A and B are shown apart, each in its own frame.
Chain A
Amino acid sequence: MSILVDENTRLIVQGITGREGKFHAEQMLEYGANVVAGVTPGKGGQEVLGVPVYDTVAEAVEKHDANATVLFVPPRFTKEGAFEAMDAGLKLVITIAEGVPVHDMLEVYHHSKKYGATVIGPNSFGVISPGKSKAGFMAHRIFSPGKVAVLSRSATNCYETVFMMSNRGIGQSTAIGIGGDMVPGSPFVEMLPLLEEDPETEAIVLIGEIGGSDEEIAAEYIKENVSKAVVALIAGKNAPKDTSMGHAGAIVAPDGTGSAENKEKVLKEAGAYIAESTEGIVDILEEIL
């Protein structure tokens, strides 16, 4: 099983003719992902890495029965790209770019609910189900197949954790880059039901950080609906207030909303294990699995 992305994923790469798009399409192919088509407006008819390129997502979907897309397009075009994909009927849209205006994401978020589509990211490394497929730019060599799902707002904290997990023999079912922006296409809480139902996932690692209330909302859900073990880390405990820590979303409001203390408190009350460091996550996993 695993969730979102697996051997049945028929993936489109939007922006496949760009430098980043091409490089990571190659990485995805090398990993065994089924990249069926690429889309770049004006470049239809070409081939990149043996993958046919189309002008529109609709054409690519129709010709190749694609069921997911990953967007390697600049931040200012992410909204258009996501709309085009959803309008072409795709139900899984993975956005990567850092720097997407939050008002664009508000529109994408609300439209995705109307279309019944799942949008991942932006400011995300994408999604990987180790040993099966990947859609994104994550350094896949550090991942290994297994039974722990990882959800993370930060790419680097996820890599750190996964690297140590793999070294200590704890594999991953699926790792999802929730993304570091203010409004993610899919906050933690929307991924939890899928993981709770996934028979291959035994435990869930939740790597959050300061800013917003998505960890608090996840905690409420975990309390009532998640039977699997949840191990959480909240980064940014010692970040100065009202200062963005790089991720657009990692900012504690002047009134204290979004603080690490509150997130840890409610997650703990919801029954999650709280780790103090990425290494601490792996220690806890070793103990409970």
Chain B
Amino acid sequence: MKLLEYKSQELFYDYNIPSNKGLVIDSLEDLEDTLQDDEPVRGNDITAKIENYPVVVKAQVQTGGRGKAGGIQFAENAEEVKEISRNLLGSEIKGLEIKKLLVVDMIDVKKEWYLSVTLDRKSKTPLLIFSTEGGVDIEETAHQTPEKIAKIPINPMMGIKDYMIRYLVNYFNIDPKYLKPLYEIVKNLYTLFKEYDCLLTEINPLVIDGEGNLLAVDGKIDIDDNSLFRHDDILKFRDELTEDAKVIEAREYDFLYIPIRDEGNIGVISNGSGMIMSSIDLITKKGMEVSCALDLGGGATAERVKEAIKIVLENEDVELLLINIFGGITRCDEIARGLEMAADAVGDKKVIIRVEGTNKEAGLEIIHNMKDTVISVDSILEGVDALYEHFSG
């Protein structure tokens, strides 16, 4: 679960990581209220009010390149903030609706550093990454000048120790007066990383401003989906996101719906992540394109199978459906009955279905009595051949 910038900034605030002042707007009325509000400013609380101009208005959407798409604009006064907000709120960037804006102070940037804690799957530890070359794509720096990046694996039993920061300060020849504030920020960022079950907490850039303060000016946080049961605030945040309606609908039935390719025209339903991937691989290898995939998980009943088929076929790009089932706890007869129950949604669309495993014979009996646009195959390879035949005439 990737957080939007404003949510990351809120968490930075909660964890005493200094960031630039700002406020979040989700409606024009909200903005009016804020501009007229005489409440005092609360530190770097991002619910604070605008105090100094110019400010930066940033669209809160989950995509890269929003600056180029006009999602980051500068305002000299309250009128300009209103004007920009009116234009941005409710409009779209790369198909994503802008529901919120973050308005922040312009910062007098003297230096830009990079700081992150990420979960390194290779070493199976959190990894502290720091560079004095911030504000740019860290992958680019890693590629061009790897010596300008320091990576420190953190033993999860031990956490952050101050010698790690001393090492950074020495290695990069940083003014020792930053030792303490940098240590505080790293320590707090790591605490946030652990307590919020993060896969990534990134500050880029970590700015030194004109007064010599360290400020987190832009942040990225990615939280482990498997941990959301213990983070109610993040679950609430997820509900506010602009997400694919199909993903949300599928989630209500405990299915996973994955959009694959915009230009695809095949829908894939299967009962396991591995089989989904294998099916997509084999279809793509034959030069065909998958539009979306749905994972039923284990033990789907006929009723739920019907819903799954409906969800996939409601996607207008899907011309053809491939159902690939290897039944353990999933029963082939339940799958077949589900397909029968979804007859209205299926209509005249061609369905290629392969069932193997528990109650295969009972399932096949049902399938063989269906109309001839439902094609039963005996393996995934046969299924892919049937798809190929359909498209090649």
Residues B227 and A278 in contact, CB atoms below 8 Å apart: no
Closest CB in chain A relative to B263 CB, distance in Å: 12
Query: Is A151 an interface residue, CB under 8 A from the partner?
Result: no
Residues A246 and B226 in contact, CB atoms below 8 Å apart: no
Which A residues, 255 to 289, have Cβ-Cβ distances below 8 Å to chain B? 255, 258, 276-279
Residues B224 and A156 in contact, CB atoms below 8 Å apart: no
Query: Is B381 an interface residue, CB under 8 A from the partner?
Result: yes
Residues B226 and A100 in contact, CB atoms below 8 Å apart: yes
Residues A99 and B381 in contact, CB atoms below 8 Å apart: no
Residues A250 and B282 in contact, CB atoms below 8 Å apart: no
What's the Cα separation between A160 and B271 when bound, in Å? 12
What's the Cα separation between A210 and B281 when bound, in Å? 12
Mask for A68-87, Cβ within 8 A of B = 1, else 0? 00000001100000000000
Closest CB in chain A relative to B136 CB, distance in Å: 14
Which one of A76, A214, A250 lies within 8 Å of B273 (CB-CB)?
A250
Known: A101-B226, A159-B326, A243-B258. A235 touches B277 (CB 8 A): yes
Chain A residues with CB below 8 A from B379, complex form: 279
Question: How many A-B pairs fall under 8 Å by CB?
Answer: 152
Closest A residue by C-beta to B270: A156
Which A residues, 183 to 232, have Cβ-Cβ distances below 8 Å to chain B? 183, 207, 209-214, 217
Mask for B283-315, Cβ within 8 A of A = 1, else 0? 111000010000100000000000000000000
Chain A residues with CB below 8 A from B199, complex form: 102, 182
What's the Cα separation between A182 and B326 when bound, in Å? 24
Query: Is A63 an interface residue, CB under 8 A from the partner?
Result: no
Residues B121 and A235 in contact, CB atoms below 8 Å apart: no
Query: Is B212 an interface residue, CB under 8 A from the partner?
Result: no
Query: Is B40 an interface residue, CB under 8 A from the partner?
Result: no
Count of chain B residues with Cβ under 8 Å from any Cβ of A? 50
Residues B326 and A160 in contact, CB atoms below 8 Å apart: yes
Closest A residue by C-beta to B272: A156
Closest B residue by C-beta to A105: B124
Closest CB in chain B relative to A156 CB, distance in Å: 3
Closest CB in chain B relative to A174 CB, distance in Å: 19
Mask for B162-181, Cβ within 8 A of A = 1, else 0? 00000000000000000000
What's the Cα separation between A217 and B224 when bound, in Å? 24
Closest CB in chain B relative to A77 CB, distance in Å: 11
Query: Is B346 an interface residue, CB under 8 A from the partner?
Result: no
Known: A250-B273, A277-B380. A75 touches B226 (CB 8 A): yes
Query: Is B261 an interface residue, CB under 8 A from the partner?
Result: yes
Residues A212 and B122 in contact, CB atoms below 8 Å apart: yes
Query: Is A163 an interface residue, CB under 8 A from the partner?
Result: yes
Residues A246 and B273 in contact, CB atoms below 8 Å apart: yes
Residues A213 and B122 in contact, CB atoms below 8 Å apart: yes
The interface centre, meaning the residue of A180, A214, A235 with most chain B CB atoms within 10 A of its CB, is A235
Which one of B124, B157, B274, B280 lies within 8 Å of A156 (CB-CB)?
B274
Residues A156 and B326 in contact, CB atoms below 8 Å apart: yes
Query: Is A58 an interface residue, CB under 8 A from the partner?
Result: no
Query: Is B278 an interface residue, CB under 8 A from the partner?
Result: yes
What's the Cα separation between A255 and B64 when bound, in Å? 14
Closest CB in chain A relative to B59 CB, distance in Å: 20
Residues B124 and A240 in contact, CB atoms below 8 Å apart: no
Residues A154 and B197 in contact, CB atoms below 8 Å apart: no
What's the Cα separation between A159 and B124 when bound, in Å? 28
Chain A residues with CB below 8 A from B225, complex form: 244, 248
The interface centre, meaning the residue of A109, A217, A255 with most chain B CB atoms within 10 A of its CB, is A255
What's the Cα separation between A217 and B121 when bound, in Å? 11
Which one of B122, B276, B283, B326 lies within 8 Å of A245 (CB-CB)?
B276
Known: A106-B125, A110-B155, A277-B380. A155 touches B229 (CB 8 A): no
Chain A residues with CB below 8 A from B275, complex form: 154, 156-157, 160
Known: A212-B121, A237-B284, A240-B260. A278 touches B328 (CB 8 A): no
Closest CB in chain B relative to A221 CB, distance in Å: 14
Chain A residues with CB below 8 A from B272, complex form: 154-157, 246
Query: Is B146 an interface residue, CB under 8 A from the partner?
Result: no
Which one of B259, B273, B282, B290 lies within 8 Å of A277 (CB-CB)?
B282
Known: A110-B155, A246-B295. A276 touches B277 (CB 8 A): no
Chain B residues with CB below 8 A from A139, complex form: 328, 357-358
Which B residues, 354 to 391, have Cβ-Cβ distances below 8 Å to chain A? 356-358, 379-381
Which B residues, 188 to 231, have Cβ-Cβ distances below 8 Å to chain A? 194, 197, 199, 224-227, 229-230
Chain B residues with CB below 8 A from A245, complex form: 258, 273, 276-277
Mask for B226-268, Cβ within 8 A of A = 1, else 0? 1101100000000000000000000000001011110000000
Closest CB in chain A relative to B39 CB, distance in Å: 38
Which B residues, 101 to 149, have Cβ-Cβ distances below 8 Å to chain A? 119, 121-122, 124-126, 139
**Chain B residues within 8 Å of A, Cβ to Cβ:** 119, 121-122, 124-126, 139, 155-157, 194, 197, 199, 224-227, 229-230, 256, 258-261, 270-278, 280-285, 290, 295, 326, 328-329, 356-358, 379-381
